[in-house]
Amino acid sequence: MELAAYVPVHSCSQCGESYTGEEAETIRHEAVCRHRGVLTPAEIRALRREHGMSRAGFSRLTGFGEATLARWERGEVIQNTSSDSFLRLLTSETVLRRLSSLTRYEDKLGREFSMVFHSLENDWASALVRYQEFPELFGTTERVNLLNAIGGALFWDVQQVFWSDLMLRLTRLTDAPKSAGKDNLTVRRLPDLCEDPDLREAVEGLVRAAVDATAFARDWRNRRIGHSDLARAIDPSPEPLKEATLKKAKAALDAVHAVLDTISGRLLGKGIANEVNTRPRARVFMAYASQLVEAVQFVDSAIDPSGEKPITDQAAAEAFLQKLHRRPTWHNTRQVFELREAARRFPINAHETNPGY
């Protein structure tokens, strides 16, 4: 296969020979990189410098050898597609932050401790996001009514899945270090990783508190979510499940946070904020749903200000289409009927469920 690239050519004024220089080699190399779909040397240098890193620091962060990075940046070697894909991930601030924090943890905690701690912190943060999303969807009667109008059976399932997922996340954070002969990622591993006796003792106490705080979730996991308790199915008066509320879920998350925060403050010199800033997916969904409902209700009120005309009023539909300069075909008229039917399906003040941004 031949690749074409425009390169500067120099000529000797004395002998007439033509030759190319370093600039031409750079252009040729970049043409090959673009053909193969990988970053060029200039783009790799720009990526590193954009984050204010030396080559040594970038090497330490990514795991690529410093000499390898130097060869890529000088155009001596072209990176393979796997390495290039990893480099492209670093254009994401989220990925870079996580890698940076993991490297910082490893410097202070060592490899095993840092990997366990970092993974637990991510699992706790994910559980906190799930906790925050649940009331954003189901926290008020108005929001539940709106979701019921959109698809009650579907969102009932979503509610059950969200709640079960939150219970499972709480139990995984505080499960035993081993189950069925397999090692588990859990805060109960952290005390043994603390070399300082005083810190180990403090963490042990906090871990016990976290295990106790998640006992209700473990009961739900063991007797309803992970297994189906026979007594609950056939006994006329079985032992009830332990009370599970959002308040208890938050207390459990706070207890796990106390474990992580204590270790972080003592060994990393900085605590962990008891909050997670992420894209508000549930709030955005509710906002869009509320805006859509408000829009169709507004159109319905424009078609029938009195609210007394039947949804299938042909004259009202045709008058509305005429205002829009649309022909009153059967297709267009039916769309007006369907829009009005949708508007009447929702609660009158559905837009008030909009939780805002």
* pLDDT tens, position by position, 18-44: 655 667 677 777 888 888 888 999 999
158 and 194 in a common domain? yes
Within 10 A of 216 (CB to CB), how many other CB atoms are there?
Answer: 21
- The H or E element spanning position 183 is strand 182-183
264 and 121 in a common domain? yes
24 and 84 in a common domain? yes
Written as six digits, the tokens of 133 are: 């999303």
121 and 39 in a common domain? no
Domain with 15 in it: 10-91
Handedness of CA 45, 51, 53, 58 (dihedral sign): negative
pTM of the model: 0.70
Cβ(336)–Cβ(320) under 8 Å? yes
Per DSSP bridges, beta strands 178-179 and 18-19 are: unpaired
Mean pLDDT of the 82-102 span: 75
Measuring CA to CA, which residue among 24, 38, 79, 61 is closest to residue 70?
79
252 and 210 in a common domain? yes
Q: What pLDDT was estimated at residue 57?
A: 77
Written as six digits, the tokens of 231 are: 């007594």
285 and 235 in a common domain? no
175 and 86 in a common domain? no
Question: Would you say residue 188 lies in a domain?
Answer: yes
The answer, yes or no, to whether residue 166 has pLDDT greater than 80, is yes
Question: Would you say residue 101 lies in a domain?
Answer: no
132 and 205 in a common domain? yes
- For residues 102 and 96, give the distance between their C-alpha atoms in angstroms, rounded to a whole number: 10
Q: Among 67-71, 140-144, 285-289, 346-350, name the one with the lowest average pLDDT.
A: 346-350
Name the band, by pLDDT with cuts 50, 70 and 90, for residue 50.
confident
301 and 259 in a common domain? no
Question: Would you say residue 106 lies in a domain?
Answer: no
Residue ending a domain, choose from 268, 294, 309: 268
Cβ(211)–Cβ(190) under 8 Å? no
Render pLDDT for 302-314 as a digit per residue (tens, 0 to 9).
999 988 899 999 9
Q: With b meaning 16 or more CB within 10 Å and e meaning fewer, what string describes 36-65?
A: eebbbbebbbebbeeeebebeebbebbebe
- The H or E element spanning position 178 is strand 178-179
247 and 169 in a common domain? yes
- In terms of residues, how long is the chain? 357
Question: Would you say residue 100 lies in a domain?
Answer: no
Name the band, by pLDDT with cuts 50, 70 and 90, for residue 211.
very high
Q: How many domains are there within the chain?
A: 3
Question: Would you say residue 1 lies in a domain?
Answer: no
Mean pLDDT of the 263-274 span: 91
Question: Would you say residue 62 lies in a domain?
Answer: yes
Name the band, by pLDDT with cuts 50, 70 and 90, for residue 52.
confident
129 and 87 in a common domain? no
The answer, yes or no, to whether residue 355 has pLDDT greater than 50, is no
Name the band, by pLDDT with cuts 50, 70 and 90, for residue 220.
very high
291 and 240 in a common domain? no
Measuring CA to CA, which residue among 327, 320, 324, 315 is closest to residue 303?
320
